[in-house]
Structure 1
Amino acid sequence: MLSAMAGWGPAMVSTTPATRAPATADPGPLRPPWSARALIAAGLLVAAVAVTWLTFWWIGLSPASLAAGLDDTARLLRRMWPPDLPRAGDVAWMIVETLLIAVAGTGLAALASVPLAFVAARTHKGPRRLRPPARAVIVLTRAVPTLAFAILFVRIFGLGPLAGALAVAVHSVGMIAKLLTDAVEEADPVPAEAARACGAGEVQVAVSSVLPRVFPALAGIVLYRLDINIRASAVLGVVGAGGIGVALQTALGSLNYHRAAGIICVIVVLVLLLELLSVTVRRTVLRPTVRRRTASRTSRRDLVGRDTGAAGRTAGDTTGTAALPGGRAPHDVGWDRGRVLRVAGAIATGVVFLVSLWSLDPDPGRLSGAWPNLRAVLTGMWPPAFSGDLLMAVLESLLMALGAAAVGAACGLVLALLTAVNTTPWRPLSAMVRVLLVVVRGIPDLVYALLFVAALGLGPYAGFLALWISSTALAAKFFADSLEQLDPLPHEALTSVGARRWQAFAAGIWPQFVPSFTGNGLFVADLALRESVVLGIAGAGGVGYLMQESIATLRYDTTAAIVIAIAVVVYAIETLARIARRHLL
C-alpha cells in the first residue's frame, strides 16, 4: 500500500499541469467598486475646489493681496495695543444687559416653541391643516439670522434691548421648535394612546403624557440655545439692539481702537466664562436626569425579578413574605434633597426670566406706539421687489460662505491632526492648539468682520477672511472630536508591523474619518452661509449690507425679497447637506 501510495505521488505531480484550469490574464491591482457614497464624496470634493477657485476670482484673492491684507491687519492690531478697558461699572452694566437680553429672548422662544412643536409633530393628532404653517414658521425663523431680525425690530420698536430680545426670541424659535418636534415624534406613543383611550383631549394628552417625557430634552435644548444666544447678544448692539455691542460700535465708529480692543477682550472673556458655565450646568442638570432614568429602569427590573421569585416561592407555600417591599405611601411626594434643589432651581429660573422681561422696559405706551411702524413694515413688504443687484448680493454671500468653509475645512483638518490625541506628534503641542482654538472660537464672527473692514475697507474680502478664521476654528473642533472617537485598532495594528506615521494614518485612520469629515464640513458650510448674511451688515460684502440699506431707506419690498432669498438659499443648502449626510453617514 505504501508502495502504491509512493507510486501515486510522482504520477499525481506529473498530471497536475494537465488537469489545472487554464491560466487567466493578470487582473492588475484590485480597486474598490464605485458606490453611491464614493460618487457623492468625489462630487463634493470637486464642487468644493470649484467654488473655492470661483470665490478667489470673485473677491480678487491672491498670495500678494493676502500678504498685503494681513500686513494692514497687523498695523491695525498694533494701533489697538494696549487695550483700554472701560470703567468697571460701565462694563458690569453692559454685561448684565447682554445677559438679560439673552435670557429674555431664550425664555420667550421656549414658551412659543412648545405649542408650535406639538402642532408641527406628525404624532400629534390635532388639526392637520395647522401642521404646514407651523413647519413653515420653524423653517423661516431658523433660516434668517438673529442680526437680520434685530434690524427689523429696531426699526419697529426703536433702539434698545427690547428689539434685541425679540430678535433673539424669533430666531431661537426655529431651532428649539425643530429639535423639540423631533423629540415629540420620537417619544414613546403608548402613554399618549392610553390617555386618548380614556377620553383625554389632545391638549390633555400633550400636557400629561408627552411633555413630561420630552422635558429633559427640552431643558438641554434651551440651555444649549441660551449659550448661543449669549454669543449673539454680545454683538446685537452693532445695529442698536442693546448690549455690549453698542459700546464696540461706538468705539470703532469714533476710531478709538484702544477702547475697541478693551471691549473685544471683555467680550472674549465673557463668552469663554459662559461657555465653561454652560458645560458645567449641562453636566449637573442633564446627567443626573439620565442617571435617574437608568436607575429607575434598573429598579423596575429588580422589582420584577423579586416579584417573580416571590411568586415562585409562595406558589406552594402561602406563608411566604410579601412580594413587594414596604415603601412610602402613594400620596407622599418625597421631598428629598434632589426634589428640593430642582424646585428651587425652577423658581430661580422663573424669577430670573421675569426680571429679564422687566429690564426690557415693556412700556405699554411704547408697545402701542410701535404698531404703526409694524403695520408700515408689513404693508410695505408686499409685493417683494426682486432685482439683479439682490441676486448678485445673494450670490456673493453664497460664494463667500462656501469658499471660506472649504478653505477653513482644509486648514481645520491640519489643526485637528495636531490636536487629536491619536494623531498629534507632541502632546504639549496638542494642548497649546486646543487653547488657541478656544480663544479663536470665543470671538464672534462679526467682531472679526469689523476689524477686517477697519483694516481693509468695505467689501467681500473682509467678510471672506472673517469667515475663514471662524470656519477654521469650528472645523478643527469638530474634526478633532471625530478623530478621537475612531476605532484605534487599525492604526495600532499598522503601527505594530512597522508602518510609518503617514502610512498608518492613510490606511488606518483616514478611511474611517471620511464620513465624519464630509458631514462636519457640510455643517460648517451651513453655519458659514448663515453668518455671511450677518457680516454684510458690518460692510463685509454680501446681502446683509443691502438689507440694512433697504430698511434705512424704507424700501421694505426689497427687505422682503432679501428675507425670502436668504430663507430659500439657506433651506436649500441645509436640505442638500442633510441628503449628503444621509448617504455618507
Structure 2
Amino acid sequence: MNKTATRARLEPYPPAVSPSPSLCPPFSREKLTLWILFATIIPLTAISANHIEFDLRALGGGFEDVANLIARMLPPEVSDPPRIGELLLETLMMALLGTVLATVLSIPLAFLAAANTSPHPLVQRAARMIITMCRAVPDLVFAVLFVRALGIGVLPGVLALALHSVGMMAKLFADAIEQIDEGPREAVRATGAARLSELVTGVLPQVIPAWIGTFIYRVDINLRTSVVLGFVGAGGIGFALQDALRGLMYESAMGIVLIILVIIAAMEVVAIGLRRTLLDPASGSGPAPRAIPASSSVRPPWTRDRIIRTATGAATVGAIVWSFVHLRINPLAPIASGGELIAVFGRLLPPSIDGVEAVLFTAVVETLAIGLVATVLGAILAVPVGILAAGNISPSRPVYWAARAVVLVVRAIPELILAVIFVAAIGLGPMAGALALAVGTIGFLGKLVADSIEEIPSGPIEAVRSVGGGWWDQLFSAVIPQSLPQLVGHWMYMLDVNIRTSTVLGIVGAGGIGFLLMESIRA
C-alpha cells in the first residue's frame, strides 16, 4: 500500500459545513407563493362574506324551522322496497359505467395533455382546453341536455357522468404522468422501442396505482352525483327522492337518504381496503421471494396482493358487462341519435346573454363569493377532521373511526338536500348555498386530507417519535410539512368544485348563477 493511499485512509473526513445559526428552513419560492396565497384569500373571503351577507347569527332564528323539518322526516320509512331496490341498483350501475366510460376517454386525453408525453405544445393546449370544458359544465346541465336528446332513462345519466368526470380524471391522470420518474422511460427509449411501447412499458406501470386510486374516488363521487341526476329524469334513485320531496313525504325521503348512506359506507370500506393494498403492496403477501434462476419463469408469484388485484379487475369487468345487460343499454344509441344530439347541443351556440345582461355579472360574482366562503369555512372544519381520520397519525382507533364516520355521513348527503334544509332554515339566498357547500366540503375535503396524510412517508414521523416527540410534535414537525403541498392543492380543487356546484344549488333558491342557467336550459 502506497503512502498516498494510507494517508487518505487515515485522514479524517472533511469537516461538515457548520449549520446556520437559524433553524428555520430557507425562504423558497414555494413558501413565498403560499404566503401570497394566504394573504390574498383572507381579505377576499371577508369581502365575499360581506357581499352575500353571510351572518351565522341568522341560523339562530332558523333552528326551529330546521327542527320541525327534521321532525317531519322521522321515523324514516321505505314505502316501496322493490322499486327503491331497483332504482338503487340503477344508481350503482350508472356510477360504475359513467366512471368506466370517463376512464376510457381520459387516458388518451391525459397522454396528450401531459407536458412530457404530448406530441406538440398545441396538442397539449387543445387537450387541456377539452378537459377544462368538461369540468366547467355542471353534470346536471349535461344530464338535462342528454335527457332532452335521448329521453328519460339511465343512458343520459351515464353519459352526463362520463363527460363531466373527464374534467377531473383526465386532469389527475395527466398530473400523474408529469410526475413520473423519467429513468425507466429513457431506458425503454434507449432500446429503440417505438413510442407506443415506450409509453406502455415506461410510463403506465408508474401511473397505474394513482389512476386506480382516482378511479375508486371518482366512483364514489359519481355515486352521490347520480342521486341528483334523477331530479332531471336521468335515472337512478333520484327519481324516488324527487317524488318523495315533491309529495312532501319527508319520512320516505329520509329513508332513501339512509339507504344512500349505507351504500356509500360500503363503498368506503371497499375503497379503504383497496387503497391499503395499493399503498402497501407487500403487506400480507408473505416472505420476500427468493432470487429466480435465469432458467426459471419470470412471471411474478401469486401473492395475496396480486390475487386481490386480479380478482378486483375481474369483478369490475363482470360488473360492467352485467350492467350493460341488466340496464339494456345500447352502446350505439348515442350514434343512432347523433342528429338529435347535434341539434340539442347546437342550440348552445352561438353563446348569447340576451335577456340576462343586467343580472348576469351580479349572479357570477355571487356564485364566486359563495364558492370561496364555503371552501374556506369548510376547510376550517375539514382539515382537523381529516387529520384525525388519517390512520397513521390519528391518536387512537376510536377517534379514527369517529372522524371517518363524520366524513362518511356528511358525504352521503347530497349538497342539493343540504341546500333545501338551509333554505328552510334561513330562507332563499346565497347564504343557504354557502352553508350547504361548506358542510359538503367537510366530507369531501376531509377525505382528501386523510388520504393524503396516509400516503406520506412514515420515516419522518418515526424519527420524531423515536426522539420522544409527542402527537403534536409529530403533527407539526413531520405530517404537515410533508402534506402541505397536497393540502393546498386539494383546497384549490375543492374551490373549483364548489364554484361549479354552486351553479346547481340555484335550482332550489340557494343563490348564484344556477337559477339563470337552469331557466335558460329549460326554455
Q: Does 1:133 align with 2:101?
A: no
Residue of structure 1 in register with 2:82 after alignment: 89
CA distance in 1, matches of 2:34, 2:316: 46
- Residues 79 and 278 of structure 1, relative CA distance in 2, 3 Å threshold: same
Q: 2:359 aligns with which of 376, 389, 406?
A: 389
Match of 2:265 in 1: 272
User: Does the alignment pair 1:164 with 2:160?
Assistant: no
Moved more, 62-71 or 343-352: 343-352
- Rounded to whole Å, the distance in 2 between the matches of 1:355 and 1:507 is 49
1:130-209 matches, cutoff 5 A:
130-185=123-178, 186=180, 188-190=184-186, 192-194=188-190, 197=192, 200=194, 202-203=195-196, 205-206=198-199
Deviation at 1:245, TM superposition (A): 1.2
2:102 aligned partner: 109
Deviation at 1:108, TM superposition (A): 1.4
Superposition deviation, residue 410 in structure 1? 2.6
Task: Provide the aligned C-alpha RMSD in A.
Answer: 4.3
What SS class does the counterpart of residue 329 from structure 2 fall into?
A: coil
Report the CA distance between 1:76 and its aligned residue. Answer: 0.9
In the alignment, the residues of structure 2 paired with residue 325 and residue 508 of structure 1 have an alpha-carbon distance, to the nearest angstrom, of 47
In the alignment, what sits opposite 2:17?
Answer: none
Change (3 A) 1:106 1:490: closer
1:524-548 deviation digits (Å, cap 9, x = unpaired): 4333223222323343221222211
Report the AA paired with residue 189 of structure 1: R
Match of 1:248 among 235, 241, 254: 241
Distance 2:257 2:198 in 1: 49
In structure 2, C-alpha distance between the alignment counterparts of 1:220 and 1:505, rounded to whole Å: 26
Q: Distance in 2 between matches of 1:60 and 1:529?
A: 18
**Residue type of the alignment partner of 2:342:** L
**Which residues of structure 2 form unaligned runs of 5+?**
1-22
Q: How does 1:300-311 map to 2 (within 5 A)?
A: none
Partner of residue 327, structure 1 = 296
Structure 2-normalised TM-score?
0.77
The CA distance in 2 between the partners of 1:166 and 1:209, in whole Å, is 32
Q: 1:534 aligns with which of 504, 515, 519?
A: 504
Select 2:346's aligned residue among 356, 371, 378: 378
Q: Which structure 2 residues correspond to residues 174-573 of structure 1 after superposition, within 5 A?
A: 174-185=167-178, 186=180, 188-190=184-186, 192-194=188-190, 197=192, 200=194, 202-203=195-196, 205-206=198-199, 210-211=203-204, 214-284=207-277, 287-288=280-281, 324=293, 326-328=295-297, 346-358=313-325, 359=327, 361-362=329-330, 368-369=336-337, 371-385=339-353, 387-412=357-382, 415=385, 432-476=402-446, 487=461, 512=481, 515=484, 518=488, 520-553=490-523
Deviation per CA, 1:338-393: give whole Å up to 9, x if none.
Answer: 88876665454333223323425338678634623532431542144373422222
> Is the helix fraction higher in 1 or 2?
1
Q: How far off its partner does 1:519 sit?
A: 5.2
The one-letter amino acid of 2:185's match is P
Residue aligned with 1:276, SS: helix
1:551 shift after superposition = 0.5
In structure 2, relative to structure 1, the CA distance for the partners of 1:227 and 1:478 (3 Å cut) is closer
Q: CA shift at 1:399, angstroms?
A: 0.6
Cα separation, 2, equivalents of 1:123 and 1:426: 43
Shift of 1:105: 1.1
> Partner letter of residue 372 of structure 2?
L
Residues 133-176 of structure 1: per-residue CA shift (max 9 Å, x gap)? 22211222233332232222222222221111001111222333
Percent same amino acid among aligned pairs? 36
Q: Pick closer, same or farther for the CA change 1:519–1:510 going to 2, 3 Å.
A: same
- Relative to structure 1, the CA distance from residue 266 to residue 384 in structure 2 (aligned partners, 3 Å threshold; closer, same or farther) is same
State the distance in 2 between where 1:414 and 1:114 align. 34
Q: Relative to 1, partners in 2 of residues 1:132 and 1:48: Cα closer, same or farther, differing over 3 Å?
A: closer
Check whether the contact 2:59–2:426 (CA below 8 A) recurs between aligned residues. Answer: no
Alignment check: 8 A CA contact 2:111 2:118 kept: no
Give a deviation string over 1:55-92, Cα, whole Å, max 9, x none: 33333333441211333222211121111223321221
Deviations 1:3-23 (A, max 9, x none): xxxxxxxxxxxxxxxxxxxxx
Secondary structure at 1:176 match in 2: helix
Shift in CA distance, 455/180, structure 1 to aligned 2, threshold 3 Å: same
Deviation of the 1:273 alpha carbon: 1.2
Give the distance between the partners of 1:507 and 1:125, measured in 2 at CA. Answer: 39
Greater gyration radius: 1
Does structure 2 retain, via aligned residues, the 8 Å contact 1:453–1:462? yes
Could you tell me whether the CA contact under 8 Å between 1:73 and 1:456 is conserved in 2? no
Match for 1:408: what amino acid?
A: G
Partner of 1:51: 44
User: Counterpart amino acid of 1:225?
Assistant: R
With over 3 angstroms needed to count, the CA separation of the structure-2 counterparts of 1:491 and 1:392, relative to structure 1, is farther
Contact 1:396 1:542 in 2 (8 A): yes
Q: Structure 2 CA distance, aligned partners of 1:66 and 1:382?
A: 43
Residues in 1 aligned to 2:488 and 2:516: alpha-carbon distance in whole angstroms: 32
Alpha-carbon distance change, 86 to 363 in structure 1, aligned in 2, over 3 angstroms: farther
| Residue type of the alignment partner of 1:385 | I
Letter in 2 for 1:160: G
TM-aligned CA deviation for residue 244 of structure 1: 0.8
How many residues are paired up?
A: 488
Kindly state the Cα deviation for residue 93 of structure 1 after the two structures are TM-superposed: 0.5
SS in 2 for 1:249: helix
The 3 A distance-change label for structure 1 pair 513 and 532 is farther
- 1-structure distance, mates of 2:424, 2:447: 28
Measure the CA separation in 1 of the matches of 2:177 and 2:159. 26
**Deviation for aligned residue 1:251:** 1.1
Contact 1:85 1:262 in 2 (8 A): yes
Picking from 112, 119, 122, the partner of 1:119 is 112
182 and 509 in structure 1: CA distance in 2 versus 1, 3 angstrom threshold: closer
Encode CA deviations 1:463-506: one digit per residue, 9 max, x unaligned.
1110121223445555667789774877998989xxxx99x899
Task: Label 1:488 to 1:59 Cα distance change in 2 as closer, same or farther (>3 A).
Answer: farther
